[in-house]
Amino acid sequence: MQLTPEFQILALVIIGALLLVNLWALLFRNKNGELHNVADVLFRGQAELAGRLTQISEYSRQQQDVIASAINEQKLSVLKIMDEKLLEVSKNVSEGLQQNTVKTNETLTDLRERLAKIDVAQQKISALSEQVVSLQEVLSNKQARGAFGEIQLNDLVTSALPPSAYEFQVVLSNQKRADCVLKLPNPPGLIVIDSKFPLESYHALRVAANDREKLEAERFFKASVLKHIKDIADKYIVAGETAESALMFLPSEAIYAELHANFPDVVEASYRAKVWIVSPTTLMATLNTVRAILKDAKMREQAGVIQKEVGVLIDDIGRLDGRIESLSRHFKQANEDIDGIKVSSGKIARRIQKIEDIQLGEEQKISLEHHGSEDMSEKSA
């Protein structure tokens, strides 16, 4: 066991002092007897100091053992606390990792779903792009463009009106073929709808790069629309066969908006020619109005039948009232008969009660006579 630095210094000092005393004793051992006595005293002091030094060393060892034990206990306590802290940290880290794993899995799942949706959207966009390319190819051909407008007109009319209210590709008396004819009652009669699609002039108006090109495109667009208006007025407004007006169907909302926003003179020219320009939206509103007119006309046609049926219904109601009155009389007579039956049944019940009372009285009399005879026989006995 090692001594502390203080005890080591003290021991060295004592040992050095003892060595000096021994040396001094050897040098003066033979001088006189007193020196010998002093030497004895010094030797005894040396022994006593050695014993004290041994005790100090033992005490120092014990103190060091106590300190070492305390240090070990403190180390164990610190280690225990560190273990607990490490376990807590490990638990927190584990829980954090678990939560992060769950969140990561959820994020990855959500990401996979979004990627799947993006793939579907990408496929739809690709299909739409192909359709747009096909539509551009269709619209670039004048004949195909006309067929596109007729198909759109067909879809709108068939979705809004009953089959009896329209007809497609009708040849008029002037040998002109109309895209669609609305069959309305007179007036106004037959209304012709013709599909027109001035896409080339509208496209030129859209791509004009300067004022000169824009002016030329506006003239081209105006001339195209005015020509369509004149053709419809000349071909599809036939006196005595069709209505006094016709409809020009533009299968493009953009062209319709451009026409009404920037070419009011063309719109006024169509009014004067009694050619009403309609887009898909306004045509649907017009068709709904036509449907209401047809319904009203049908109601007027059936008004006489309805009045006749109402008269018959009134007669039926009168007969029903008579029968109800007769049935009420029958119910009243039946109630009176039921009351008579109740009176008769009451009388019968009372007579039956009287009969039961009479029978009960006779039985009591017979019982009394029987008991009297028994008493007489007992007395004679």
CA-to-CA distance for 336 and 333, rounded, in angstroms? 5
DSSP string over 173-202:
TTSPEEEEEEE-PTTT-EEEEEE---HHHH
Question: In 10 A of CB 276, how many CB atoms?
Answer: 19
Half-sphere exposure of 374 (CA within 13 A, CB side): 6
As given in the structure block, the two tokens for residue 356 are 């039961």
Average pLDDT over residues 320-332: 81
User: Is the preceding peptide bond at 188 cis, omega within 30 degrees of 0?
Assistant: yes
Over range 308-333, report the average pLDDT: 81
- Least confident span in 112-116, 239-243, 309-313, 370-374: 370-374
Cα distance between residue 65 and residue 164, in whole Å: 118
What residues are paired with 192 via a beta bridge?
Answer: 181
- Distance separating alpha carbons of residues 165 and 172, to the nearest angstrom: 17
Max avg pLDDT among 32-36, 253-257, 312-316, 363-367: 253-257
1 falls in which pLDDT band (50, 70, 90)?
very low
Band (pLDDT 50/70/90 cuts) for residue 133 is very low
The Cα 52–Cα 58 span in angstroms is: 10
Question: Does the pTM of the predicted model rise above 0.75?
Answer: no
* CATH no., domain 143-302: 3.40.1350
Residue-wise pLDDT for 40-96, tens only, equals 655 665 666 666 667 766 766 776 677 777 777 777 777 777 777 777 877 777 777
| Residue where the block lists tokens 């309805």 | 306
Structure tokens at 72: 């070990």
- What does the domain layout of the chain look like in residue ranges? 5-98, 143-302
Q: CA–CA separation, 152 vs 144, rounded Å?
A: 12
Contact 178, 204 (CB under 8 A): no
d(CA 281, CA 263): 19
Beta strands in the chain (DSSP E): 166-171, 177-183, 190-195, 246-249, 275-278
Percent pLDDT > 70 in the chain is 71
Across-strand partners of 193? 180, 247
Tokens read off for 177? 């073929």
Average pLDDT rounded to a whole number, residues 119-128: 74
One-letter amino acid identity for 68? A
- Beta carbons of 191 and 181 less than 8 angstroms apart: yes
Task: Report the percentage of the chain scoring pLDDT > 90.
Answer: 6
- Coil, strand or helix: which one is 248? strand
User: How does DSSP classify residue 249?
Assistant: E
Q: How many residues does the chain have?
A: 381
Q: How far apart are CA 227 and CA 219, in angstroms?
A: 12
Burial class of residue 249, CB neighbours in 10 A (0-12, 13-18, 19+): buried
Cβ neighbours for 149, distance < 8 A, ≥ 6 positions apart: 195, 196, 197, 249, 251
Q: Which of 12-21, 43-52, 146-155, 190-199 has the highest mean pLDDT?
A: 190-199
Question: How distant is the alpha carbon of residue 356 from its chain centre?
Answer: 83
- Give Cβ neighbours of residue 372 (< 8 Å, ≥ 6 apart): none
Let me know if 159 is exposed, middle or buried by CB neighbors in 10 A (0-12, 13-18, 19+).
exposed
Task: Give me the chain's average pLDDT, please.
Answer: 75
